[in-house]
Amino acid sequence: MRAMKGSMISLHYSLFSHLWQYSHLDKSFLFSVPGRKAEARRLSDRWKRSKANKSANRGCPLLDVQYTDQCYMNALGATRRVAWSKIWGFVSRGYKILAIETSCDDTCVAILNRHTKNEPPKVLAHLKDTLNSDSYGGIIPTKAHVHHQLKIGSLTLQALRETEASDIDLICVTRGPGMPGSLSVGLDFAKGLSVAWKKPMIGMHHMLGHLLLPRMSTNGQAPCFPFLSLLVSGGHTVLVLSKSVLEHEVLCDSMDIAVGDSLDKCGRELGIKGTMIAKEMEKFIDQDPLCSKNVKIKMKLPNPLQNKPSRVDAMAFSFSPFISAVKNNLEKPLQEYSEEEIRSMAFQVQEATFAHIITKLKKVIELNRESLGNVKHFVCSGGVGANKRLRVLLERSFANDFESFHYPPLDLCSDNAMMIGWAGIELSEFSGLRSSLDMTPIRKWPLSDILNVSGWVH
């Protein structure tokens, strides 16, 4: 009987080891739960009381299978409740988030205070340091990797010092999609903080951050699901139907390069310089509001993926043809063109690029009327989403299709850590998901497959 008693106590010790997986936070809290040692002690006390019973089997917890099963289920339920109360405890009392974004060449850190679930979070810190790649003619992944290594620690320390936020509760870091070398810097740094602070971590989807950011100012109230999002940046051009925080359907994607990448390369061909060439090109065009009417040089520019016998209603974007077209339209050395002529060409390139986007959006909406029947809100986000001309064209073209249009603030259209922090808040409060320490960077990660990767912990 003594051997059986020891075996049963060992069983319940093993039980709590097995239930260890239900906590994704500071696992030391399990030792304070009246369960692991208390349950074994309670079994021992009941066993002693049962010795006085004339029947060796009647009422003995070590031989009563029904009682043993009930103990297991009670302990299981108690541990689950404690684990979830630990997860949601800081939600009810308010919590602070450290957000990190390093998917490309921007090293970004933010600290958000989710002081209440009834109001938008307060931004305590928002820092960003961008690699100057002007002299490189584009982003070089190895230089971006070194840039993140140089900046991530000092930016995080600066954010913590400025806010005196010593009680971070949750770490949100971009896991993908993006350049693996850049992603790994932020991801490894976040893992180190998670281990050192014994705090949970969430590996976030970069484009989910762009998609959800317009909801932050209204605390997730608007735009309400379902809504349609055009995500336009230097790395992505995608049209997404979002039905919940984790349920997204990609309706149209780029078959080659992103719109931001195309505008950057076209601008470079026209002699425009800067770290963000597409943005510099917009500024250059806006210096003369009449350039749209004073066309100095008429360019021949494409509208890709038009219907033909072998291809009908292609649900895709294509932006690489614009780069070839710009090169073909330059009939003399660039320095021989006047500033007005270059501005006129830049305007035409921008207009043709946006016309392609509008054309494809109209076709997608036309072919998906049934599934988009209850969609009343339209989001445009990402770096190119800051372009005022694009916003005008979208609202003019689709005023009859949507009740409202939503954009992030202009200074938050490009990559930033605030969007990662807010997306982490929405995902956490919607699903309770966390990430394990063995997660790795993801170079390509469709929004439709957010959960279909390893590393999530329920």
The number of angstroms, rounded, from the C-alpha of 419 to the middle of its chain's C-alpha atoms is 7
- Rounded to an integer, the average pLDDT of 193-207 is 97
pLDDT at 49: 54
Question: Does 268 or 134 have the greater pLDDT score?
Answer: 268
95-220: which CATH topology? Nucleotidyltransferase; domain 5 (3.30.420)
Q: What pLDDT is stored for residue 134 in this prediction?
A: 76
pLDDT tens column, 309-332: 888 889 999 999 999 999 999 999
Going from the C-alpha of 436 to that of each of 103, 149, 182, 400, 440, the distances in angstroms are: 19, 23, 20, 45, 10
Q: Which amino acid is at 14?
A: S
Is 102 in contact with 177 (CB distance < 8 Å)? Answer: no
Residue with tokens 């500071």: 26
Confidence of residue 426 (pLDDT cuts 50, 70, 90): very high
What is the fold, at CATH topology level, of the domain defined by 227-412?
Nucleotidyltransferase; domain 5 (3.30.420)
- Mean local confidence (pLDDT), 298-319: 91
Query: Residue 394: is its pLDDT beyond 70?
Result: yes
- Averaged pLDDT, 393-401: 97
Distance CA 84, CA 307 (A): 54
Question: Which of the four pLDDT bands, split at 50, 70 and 90, describes residue 52?
Answer: very low
- The rounded distance, in Å, linking the Cα atoms of 422 and 433 is 14
What was the pLDDT predicted at 90?
52
Taking 70 as the threshold, does the pLDDT of residue 3 lie above it? no
Say yes or no: do domains 95-220 and 227-412 share a fold: yes
> pLDDT class for 429, splitting at 50, 70, 90?
very high
Alpha-carbon distance 8 to 6, whole Å? 5
The rounded distance, in Å, linking the Cα atoms of 211 and 247 is 12
pLDDT band at 25 (very low <50, low <70, confident <90, very high): very low
pLDDT tens sequence across 124-133: 999 999 998 7
The whole-model pTM stands at 0.80
What are the extents of the domains in the chain? 2-90, 95-220, 227-412
pLDDT at site 157: 96
pLDDT the model gives residue 415 = 97
